[in-house]
Structure 1
Amino acid sequence: MRVAYQGEPGAYSEEAIIKHWGDEAQPVPLPYLQDVFAKVEQGGLDLGLVPVENTIQGSIHLTYDLLLDSELTIQGETILRINHSLIVNPGTKLEEIKRVFSHPQAIGQSRDFIEKYDLESVSTYDTAGSVKMIKEMELRDAAAIASRRAAEVYSMEILAEGIETHQENYTRFLIIGKGKTKPTGRDKTTLSFITEHKPGSLLKALHTISDQGINLLKIESRPLIGKPWEYIFYVEFEGHEEDLRVKKSLDDLENVTTSIKKLGSYPQASFLG
């Protein structure tokens, strides 16, 4: 099974694939999140794995936007503990470092460490890609923030580990693919909807979930392109779309919204934080 992810070998997304499937999956690196969706949609790869939420930096909004425009559905999820390392070319000393390269999410998650050492932060497209870059450029005044595995992949040196601001640092990844999953008894459903732009519309929509005794797990809003100050709402709640209570909720939701899209019903990830 070939699974696409955004980034370079050694990226956290690749680590999440290995953690979730082990030897059953072959991770396939791609430059951008859009590429992950496109390759799976075209049938060149079996599944994709994309980050959707971090416990420090919050949601990855581009993932939500791509889900809305894609024919792919959410097939599952997995959660990875994120432990950031400060990685350098072998022999580089901490006092030599002036700049630190990494993905914006990793920079935000390590803000206290960066400010403590008065380092210039430079955003790049990927954590592991930053390690690869400073190695290829032989930079001695720079470091990268990435995983221990990235340091091993590129034969680099770790100066500090656990540099994230909060130790409870987890990222949730979605597994995307074609088709639907069967109920497991411990599922969640993700969907998007648009309501009329008038008082009480969102409340009516949420009541369709609570009236069925369904536990709402998350709600997120994104701008509705072309209609300033109007929004698309994304919700996650417990249950599978084939469950009777969820079916009733979805039927009622269609009556109080102007648009609805089911993004997937899938097994919930176990979280042992």
Structure 2
Amino acid sequence: MAEKYTVAFQGELGAFSEEAILAYFGAEQAEPVPLPEFELVFEALESGQVDRAMIPIENSLFGSVHVNYDLLRAHAVSIIGELELRIRHHLLGLPGGRIEQIRHVYSHPQALGQCRTYLRTHLQHAEAIPAYDTAGAARMVAEMGDPAAAAIAGIRAAAKYGLEVLASGIESHPQNYTRFLVLARPEVTPPEGPPGTMKTSIVFALRENVPGALFKSLAVFALRDLDLYKIESRPLVGVPGSYLFYLDVAGSVHEEAVQRAMDHLAEVAAFVRVLGSYPRGRRVD
């Protein structure tokens, strides 16, 4: 029998993160563990309370989840996998409710942003109110029992909390995907994919903020024909005007070209940390 993992995620049961867990591990191999804050997800994993964690890192419509970039650096965890999940948002209300009754729409800020076109067009009379989680918003609407309240969440949340779908597929663009990262403690050996399927995530800081410093840092990968999938900058706390840079680069740290690039980067950067090497994730529609 396959090993079953406890997997922490931010939110309530019925959230998209829970859907990502089940898509990645399978229902037989994962026991989702809901927690109210991302910080608590990282702490639970780091302390050994759970075996794995699933966090969103970026959305194709609304951009990066910046807090999770900061938490990746702050905690002793490692990225061991990823998944791209198609996000379908629905307007959920009490059974028998009508859209024209809605005066308050609750959801996570990312979900509200992903559905802003629908909200402006069809619910301009309603107030959009941020909640800590999509499924949590659905649960709150169910508990309130107010026909003037609605939530934006997934179909799993509708079923979980007994709500009715008032409008389906309300995201602003059909190509709405969220990329999730699978995290483990550093001692866990990540799966190794076939050649050409691996990627490595790193974070580094420049040695000095002078013209050409970032170019020299990125050149270590170009010199070795290594593709960069993504670069994200975050402010370096306590050092105004300085930044941390997060990179996703093609290849594994076990490959010679990547190893040499990392050694070269360490010579020109103030610090470098590998956040994980892992197989490129599949897309789940």
Say if 1:183 and 1:242, in contact at 8 Å, map to a contact too.
Answer: no
Task: State the Cα distance separating 1:13 from its structure 2 match.
Answer: 0.1
Q: 5+ unaligned residues in a row in structure 1: which ranges?
A: none
The corresponding residue for 1:35 is 40
The corresponding residue for 1:142 is 149
Deviations 1:178-211 (A, max 9, x none): 1242532211100111111111100000000111
The corresponding residue for 2:283 is 271
**TM-score, with structure 2 as normaliser:** 0.94
SS of residue matched to 1:271? strand
**TM-score, with structure 1 as normaliser:** 0.98
Deviations 1:114-150 (A, max 9, x none): 1112021000000000010011111211110000110
Q: What does 1:67-82 correspond to in 2, within 5 Å?
A: 67-82=72-87
The corresponding residue for 1:2 is 6
SS of residue matched to 2:39? helix
Say if 1:11 and 1:146, in contact at 8 Å, map to a contact too.
Answer: yes
Query: Residues of 1 paired with 2:32 and 2:146: CA distance?
Result: 28
Cα RMSD, aligned residues only = 1.0
Query: Residues of 2 paired with 1:267 and 1:237: CA distance?
Result: 12
Q: 5+ unaligned residues in a row in structure 2: which ranges?
A: none
Task: State the Cα distance separating 1:270 from its structure 2 match.
Answer: 2.1
Say if 2:106 and 2:131, in contact at 8 Å, map to a contact too.
Answer: yes
Which one of 1, 15, 18 corresponds to residue 19 of structure 2? Answer: 15
Task: State the Cα distance separating 1:272 from its structure 2 match.
Answer: 6.8
Say if 1:84 and 1:161, in contact at 8 Å, map to a contact too.
Answer: yes
Task: State the Cα distance separating 1:79 from its structure 2 match.
Answer: 1.0
Aligned residues: 273
Query: Residues of 2 paired with 1:18 and 1:182: CA distance?
Result: 18
Query: Residues of 1 paired with 2:200 and 2:284: CA distance?
Result: 21
Q: Which amino acid aligns with 1:135?
A: A
SS of residue matched to 1:122? strand
Query: Residues of 2 paired with 1:183 and 1:45: CA distance?
Result: 23
The corresponding residue for 1:105 is 110
Deviations 1:86-109 (A, max 9, x none): 000111111100110000000000
Does 2:62 align with 1:57? yes
Query: Residues of 2 paired with 1:130 and 1:248: CA distance?
Result: 48
SS of residue matched to 1:209? helix
Task: State the Cα distance separating 1:258 from its structure 2 match.
Answer: 0.8
The corresponding residue for 2:129 is 122
Query: Residues of 2 paired with 1:244 and 1:8: CA distance?
Result: 43
Q: Which amino acid aligns with 1:183?
A: E
